[in-house]
Amino acid sequence: MKQFLYIFIATFAIIACENPKEISSFDPVKWEKRTIDISQKDSLEVGKTYLSIYSQIYSVSEHKTHNLTAMVSLRNTSPSDTIYLLKADYHDTKGHLIRTYFDKTIYLSPLETIEIVIEEVDVEGGTGSNFIFDWKIPKSASEPLFEGIMNSTTGQQGISFVTDGIRIE
């Protein structure tokens, strides 16, 4: 009986210690709930924004990197207008597409914020990853704001910094 108890405890301890690898907040269901048809809205201004993201940074030398969690903040800065995001593409350091978070139009209500989180264990993007966002807004609306917030903590040491998106079209 004791052997069975020891085996049970050891098995439970191993299972409890396993941490499933979540690499990002990529959840197609989350984005599907936000989709909208804007084909009837023909007077929208079109734009494209580039946002740099760091899933890793160099530490000590170019041969050692430190992993970061990245939160991509997508913000509607208009207090009165709904805005529309058409696509969110995530690229690695070499510019290769890693994943598309959504490619159907989603909406952001006035002053609403949504996030994409890239987990610390997801280092696929490397030291120079980036997002390209395609969007449409009413002519009177302010442009959306895209920010990257990167952070990590080890023991009592922490690092965090922010990047801002720039309009490229």
The CATH number for 69's domain is 2.60.120
Instruction: Give the pLDDT of residue 157.
Output: 85
**Is the pLDDT score of 10 beyond 80?**
no
Tell me the pLDDT of the chain averaged across its residues.
Answer: 88
**Other CB atoms within 10 A of residue 152 CB:** 16
Gap between the Cα atoms of 126 and 58, Å rounded? 10
**Other CB atoms within 10 A of residue 131 CB:** 25
Instruction: Give the pLDDT of residue 2.
Output: 64
Instruction: Tell me, yes or no, whether 16 lies in a domain.
Output: no
Burial class (CB in 10 A: 0-12, 13-18, 19+), 52: middle
pLDDT band at 13 (very low <50, low <70, confident <90, very high): low
Nearest to 70 by CA among 57, 90, 54: 54
pLDDT digits (tens, 9 = 90+) for 41-94: 889 999 999 999 999 999 889 889 999 999 999 999 999 999 999 999 999 999
Q: Which two tokens stand for residue 23?
A: 């690499």
pTM equals: 0.82
**Is the pLDDT score of 25 beyond 80?**
no
Range of the domain at 99: 24-167
Instruction: Tell me, yes or no, whether 30 lies in a domain.
Output: yes
Instruction: Tell me, yes or no, whether 76 lies in a domain.
Output: yes
Instruction: Tell me, yes or no, whether 12 lies in a domain.
Output: no
Domain count across the chain: 1
H-assigned helices in 18-111: 28-32
**Other CB atoms within 10 A of residue 21 CB:** 8
Instruction: Tell me, yes or no, whether 13 lies in a domain.
Output: no
pLDDT digits (tens, 9 = 90+) for 111-153: 999 999 999 999 999 999 999 999 999 999 999 999 999 999 8
